[in-house]
């Protein structure tokens, strides 16, 4: 009887490992929104990692998170590292910029699970607004594939992207209105 239970349990484990191994080895999460502000105003909220504190959804999820900054304040080489009980530990570094059009970032998650991903923000003028797209892509290791069986990562992470973009939208549109008011009063 114990031998049959061991065989069934072994078969279930082999099946589970096979199902996990067949999950996609890469992922891509993407969200976008139109922001009624010129690209240079929106760009300022992305290329300066210190500015992220005002709109970053993970900052709000983990108020105890501590951030440290290194490198230049903006542009390529600007870096921040974080540590918090809910946000874990990691670092992100701007690796490429196309002013007012694109910011590429290397995301290094150190804990609770190690991973290195790519984030990309693109800004495209669109009928008096700026279409901002936030993309994250990377590789799924075995643990991430297993987690993906029970959690919809696109929905979970994408939902946070949506919150972040909404916060960025509110800030950038307020900045654009203020700038228009300043420039409008000079004429």
77 in the Ramachandran plot: left (φ > 0), alpha (ψ -120 to 50) or beta? left
Query: How many CB atoms neighbour CB 168 within 10 A?
Result: 25
Q: Is residue 15 in a domain?
A: no
Q: Is residue 19 in a domain?
A: no
Q: Which pLDDT belongs to residue 27?
A: 80
Q: Is residue 99 in a domain?
A: yes
Q: Is residue 2 in a domain?
A: no
| Count: domains in the chain | 1
97 and 47 in contact (C-beta within 8 Å)? Answer: yes
CATH code (residue 56): 3.30.530.20
Range of the domain at 124: 28-186
What are the mean pLDDT values of the chain's consecutive 10-residue runs (187 residues total)?
Answer: 81 70 77 96 96 89 90 96 92 97 96 91 95 91 67 82 96 91 58
Q: Is residue 4 in a domain?
A: no
Q: Is residue 16 in a domain?
A: no
69 and 51 in contact (C-beta within 8 Å)? Answer: no
Q: Which pLDDT belongs to residue 183?
A: 57
Q: Which pLDDT belongs to residue 187?
A: 45
Q: Which pLDDT belongs to residue 28?
A: 87
């Amino acid at each position: 009887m114990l031998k049959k239970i061991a065989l069934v349990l072994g078969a279930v484990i082999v099946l589970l490992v096979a199902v996990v191994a067949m999950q996609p080895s890469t992922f891509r999460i993407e969200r976008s929104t139109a922001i009624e502000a010129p690209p240079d105003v929106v760009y300022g909220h992305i290329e300066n990692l210190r500015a992220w504190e005002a709109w970053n959804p993970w900052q709000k999820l983990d108020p105890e998170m501590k951030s440290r900054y290194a490198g230049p304040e903006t542009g390529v080489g600007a870096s921040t590292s974080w540590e918090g009980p809910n946000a874990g530990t990691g670092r992100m570094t701007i690796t490429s910029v196309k002013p007012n059009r694109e910011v590429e970032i290397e995301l290094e998650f150190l804990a609770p699970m190690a991973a290195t991903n790519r984030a990309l923000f693109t800004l495209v003028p669109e009928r008096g607004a700026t279409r901002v797209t936030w993309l994250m892509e990377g590789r799924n290791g075995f643990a991430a594939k297993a987690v993906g069986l029970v959690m919809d990562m696109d929905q979970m992470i994408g939902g946070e992207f949506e919150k972040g973009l909404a916060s960025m939208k509110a800030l950038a549109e307020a900045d654009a209105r203020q700038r228009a008011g300043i420039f409008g009063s000079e004429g």
